[in-house]
Amino acid sequence: MTTIKALTLRTASLCVVFILLLTTACRRSPSDSISGDAALHAPSADTIDRLVMQINRQARLYTSECKVHKVVLCADDKVLEGSLLGRSIDVSHLLGERKVAIPIDVSLKAYVDFSDFGADALLFGPDSTVLLTLPDPAITVTASHIDHKGVRQYVAFARSNFSEADINRFAQQGVDSITAHLDRYGITERARMSCARQIVPIFTAMGYDEHKVSIRFRKDFTPSDLQSLIQIKDGKKD
């Protein structure tokens, strides 16, 4: 009888222990597992500091260049008007019209300035993914050139040719038209792709899978947004 009692007590004890373990396991929520995974894959502060330092070294990273060829067409068929005996007169048709076609080449460059880049632009996922938000790009007009040999003028017999000042003024209007329609050239998208090609190797060198590194701008820029990104400097007009 004593042996049977001892076995019964031992069996009861094992059952109690098993129930306690099962209860503990059931109380553990899925979020505990996710948190554990995130903690497992989260990079150390030293790793983040090294990443930020490597990216800061890029400073001003020129990411894309766009060369635009445009022919500016201008017409001037009204040069003289006034009044005679109290009546207005317009002799433009008598004097004739004049037209000019001005070929121009404009170079645009986009760059991203990483001098103020910080850890707040990096988002790490629990599955070793990384999302990097780029600083806003800047776009510069680095050069604008008039193809003087390609300029063509049609001038009526009674009219004078366009002056050099006229041609330069019309050419500048062409440059302004190009910068006003930057969204047509996809320069920011090419800037993002080029930046990814140059930044992702920094992450892969530190052990990250390149397919798990995503790069984006903070927003999709509208045509009006792009105007605020333009910096016309270092530009030369010939």
Q: Give the tens place of pLDDT for each residue, 129-147.
A: 899 999 988 888 888 999 9
Counting residues of the chain whose pLDDT is more than 90, the rounded percentage is: 22
Q: How far is CA 109 from the centre of its chain?
A: 11
Confidence band for 89, pLDDT divided at 50, 70 and 90: low
Confidence band for 90, pLDDT divided at 50, 70 and 90: low
Confidence band for 106, pLDDT divided at 50, 70 and 90: very high
Gap between the Cα atoms of 30 and 155, Å rounded? 81
Mean pLDDT calculated for residue range 90-99: 66
Model confidence over 194-216: pLDDT tens digits? Answer: 888 889 999 999 888 989 999 98
Beta sheet of 130-134, edge-to-edge order: 122-124, 130-134, 213-217
Model confidence over 13-23: pLDDT tens digits? Answer: 545 444 444 44
Give strand pairing partners of 115. Answer: none
What rounded mean pLDDT belongs to the chain? 77
Is the distance from CB of 79 to CB of 92 less than 8 angstroms?
yes
pLDDT at residue 71, as a whole number = 94
- Range of lowest pLDDT (36-50, 119-133, 142-156): 36-50
Q: What is the pTM of this model?
A: 0.63
Give strand pairing partners of 88. Answer: 83
pLDDT value at 24 more than 60: no
Is the distance from CB of 238 to CB of 145 less than 8 angstroms?
yes
Confidence band for 149, pLDDT divided at 50, 70 and 90: very high
Q: Which residue has the higher pLDDT, 42 or 7?
A: 42
Radius of gyration of the chain (CA): 35
Q: How far is CA 143 from the centre of its chain?
A: 21
pLDDT at residue 236, as a whole number = 46
pLDDT value at 122 more than 50: yes
pLDDT value at 101 more than 90: yes
For 178, the token pair is: 């190009």
pLDDT at residue 224, as a whole number = 83
Counting residues of the chain whose pLDDT is more than 70, the rounded percentage is: 71
CB neighbourhood size of 229 (10 A) = 16
Is the distance from CB of 128 to CB of 208 less than 8 angstroms?
yes
pLDDT at residue 105, as a whole number = 95
Mean pLDDT calculated for residue range 162-169: 92
Residue 176, C-beta contacts closer than 8 angstroms, at least 6 positions apart = none
